[in-house]
Chains A and B, each alone.
Chain A
Amino acid sequence: MANNVSHTTEYRTLGKVLLFLMLCTFLTITVTGIHLGPFSVTVALLIACAKAYTVMTYFMHLKYESLLLKLLVGFVFVLFVLIILITFIDYAFR
């Protein structure tokens, strides 16, 4: 009956998520200060992925969505990564 197909996330949870995201931002800025050479991109991207995962899971309520939607989101990201990797088969060996 009721229209509440969506999960209600408590304010407190949202606040905690923001805190975590801020922490990640701080971390990623600090890490670039340290010279990690080629790994600095990797670290920056890993942190960005963690942030994106958190935003999707909690802010976008993906945690409470159907398995189907979760799979679709995963599929889109995997597809994109595959496309980039395959493009680099050309560029890395040229």
Chain B
Amino acid sequence: MSSGTEKVEYVSYLDHQGKYKGILGWIFATDHKRIALLYMYSIAAFFFVGVILGLLMKIELAAPGQTIMKPQTYNGIFTVHGVIMIFMVVIPGLSAVFGNFFLPILIGAKDVSFPKLNRFSWWIFIVGSIMAVASQFLRSGPPDTGWTFYAPYSTTTGTSVILATSAAFVLGFSSILTGLNFIVTIHQLRAPGMKFFNMPLFPWALYATAWIQLLATPIVGITLVMLIAERLFGIGFFDPNLGGDPLLYQHLFWIYSHPAVYVMILPAMGVISEIIPTFTQRKIYGYKAIALSSLAIAGVGFLVWGHHMYTSGMSEQARWFFSLLTFVVAVPSAIKVFNWLATMYKGSIDLKPPFLYALSFIFLFIIGGTTGLLLGSVATNIQVHDTAFVVAHFHYIIFGGMGFAFFAAIHYWSPKIYGRMYDFKRANIAWGIIFVGFNMLYFPQFILGFQGMPRRYFDYLPQFQGGQLVSSIGGFILATGLFLMVRNLVLGARKGEIAPANPWNGSTLEWQIPSPPSLENFDEEPVIKQNPYDYE
């Protein structure tokens, strides 16, 4: 280690000594890679809290009637599960972790445009998270509104809604700043010679995502402030008793929260678009179509929010209009899926763990996407609205989509992040368990929902017992798989074999630099290829 030679020794970002030492060297780091890891560790911690809350719900629902908790506790738990998973895990998930780490590297930059702002974003993310968690422990009791905070219940319930919504506001601010940083970075810091259409597809997806974060989040921000003002001063924006309009709350909430779904899924699609060419060793099919479809999803995604409100009393005209746009927004998603499949055709497929996750992403995303169309058409929506069908649908999209893409990304990039390789066999086993557990957990809920099992219910009729039991068992299988996966990754990162710079024979820029990267990523200016996925 201590080599007093004249040669400059290679120092990775993990070993680099800055102004601060130890843990302060992380908390005060402005290096995008360290900030990314800070996000990853905190998000992983919140994820496991969310998982445990989910399991508690599954135990409760394993049998009809009261099993382990009171109904009010159950209301609190599904709200907390939603708030943590949505605002603290899946919205920041891919863009704050892998976006922060790999966006600058993929476009040949040394860091993001505003490193200090980036650090600040993480700080307020933590502040917001602490507020969200704290709202569970106040004397007034955890909020019981569901993560959507629908008015007028949220303006009248006695639980600590104010703290939870303030937390969501602060977390939203963090999300805005990350998005702002990414847009400026992509515009200003691309390496010389890298035009927009030479960028890899993950940066493209992040670019579209960042615009949604930037433009949609302020609207939910102001909505939550209005909600707080309504609680504090009795302003009647949303409470019909005071002359307000509860539907207006739903409009404003979904103007943000529907695009927010694309904040979750677009980076996931970007990750898949990186992994598929690498493990098929083929140039991606339809590069421009994939790149532009991200922008199309972001653009149209802003205008479809009303499909969450078909049964809440909107006008007939608005319903068919939103339904139409919902079907339109499915088109660019399908374009992506077809292009991934076309990329795989005649490729030399290498079934490594990242690719397994990517494949299961496509499978689960198709199920989630097509059931989404069922929800998007007004007539069928009325049958399954607010049933377990919806729960199954969005878990297929968010967990099966964003979650599996996150696992794909961590398996794909962890050799680069830590410079060590995990065990493939264990990773494959964990994947199998997760995949089986996931489908057992959520697929029965499609059927239950169709049969009329409402969502967010503490109790159910005996006829749903079978499906609920399968679902609960699936939940525990899934949790076991998650535990095995994390254990394998942690072992790999700490004691695994030293990974080469390019273990998968990838073609994008991150594979041209050593693992783990140095503080400034590139010692010399990278050479930009015409097409980032050139395997010829």
Contact = CB atoms under 8 A, between A and B. Distances in A.
Interface of A: 68, 76, 79, 82-83, 86-87, 89-94
A86 B315 contact: no
Binding site secondary structure of chain B:
helix
B152 to A, nearest CB: 18
Nearest to A93: B315
22 contacts: A68-B187, A76-B215, A79-B215, A83-B255, A83-B302, A86-B303, A86-B306, A86-B321, A87-B251, A87-B255, A89-B321, A90-B247, A90-B314, A90-B315, A90-B318, A91-B315, A92-B315, A93-B316, A93-B317, A93-B318, A94-B313, A94-B315
A63 to B, nearest CB: 20
A54 B215 CA distance: 23
Interface in B180-194: 187
A79 B215 CA distance: 9
B303 A89 contact: no
Contacts of A92: 315
Given A82-B302, A86-B303, A90-B306, 15 more contacts: A68-B187, A79-B215, A79-B302, A82-B303, A83-B303, A86-B306, A86-B321, A87-B251, A89-B315, A89-B317, A89-B321, A90-B317, A93-B315, A93-B318, A94-B314
A39 B303 CA distance: 28
Contacts of B316: 93
Nearest to B302: A79
Contacts of A89: 315, 317-318, 321
Instruction: Kindly name the residue among A82, A90, A94 whose own CB sees the greatest number of chain B CB atoms within 10 A.
Output: A90
Contacts of B318: 86, 89-90, 93
A90 B316 CA distance: 8
B317 to A, nearest CB: 4
A41 to B, nearest CB: 20
A21 B315 CA distance: 40
A93 B255 CA distance: 19
Contact of A90 (B215, B251, B302, B303): B251
Contacts of A86: 303, 306, 318, 321
Interface string B185-220: 001000000000000000000000000000100000
Q: Which 9 A-B pairs have the closest CB atoms?
A: A90-B318, A93-B315, A94-B315, A93-B317, A89-B318, A90-B314, A90-B315, A89-B321, A89-B317
Interface string B313-338: 11111100100000000000000000
Nearest to A91: B315
Instruction: Kindly name the residue among B303, B314, B318 whose own CB sees the greatest number of chain A CB atoms within 10 A.
Output: B318
A92 B316 CA distance: 11
A82 B215 CA distance: 13
A89 B1 CA distance: 69
Nearest to A68: B187
A91 B255 CA distance: 15
Nearest to A90: B318
A28 to B, nearest CB: 26
Nearest to A94: B315
A89 to B, nearest CB: 5
Nearest to B315: A93
Interface string B265-304: 0000000000000000000000000000000000000110
A19 B306 CA distance: 44
Nearest to A66: B187
Contacts of B303: 82-83, 86
A6 B215 CA distance: 26
A18 B255 CA distance: 36
Nearest to A82: B303
A93 B316 CA distance: 8
A83 B258 CA distance: 13
Contacts of B313: 94
Nearest to B309: A90
B263 to A, nearest CB: 16
A5 to B, nearest CB: 12
Contacts of B187: 68
Contacts of B247: 90
B376 to A, nearest CB: 16
Nearest to B247: A90
Interface in B222-269: 247, 251, 255
Nearest to B325: A86
Contacts of A83: 255, 302-303
A94 B247 CA distance: 12
Contacts of A68: 187
B299 to A, nearest CB: 8
B252 to A, nearest CB: 9
Contacts of A82: 302-303
Contacts of A76: 215
B186 to A, nearest CB: 12
Instruction: Kindly name the residue among A68, A76, A79, A82 whose own CB sees the greatest number of chain B CB atoms within 10 A.
Output: A79
B334 to A, nearest CB: 23
B302 to A, nearest CB: 6
Contacts of B302: 79, 82-83
A94 B316 CA distance: 8
Contacts of A91: 315
A48 to B, nearest CB: 20
B365 to A, nearest CB: 27
Contacts of A93: 315-318
A83 B314 CA distance: 16
A42 B477 CA distance: 61
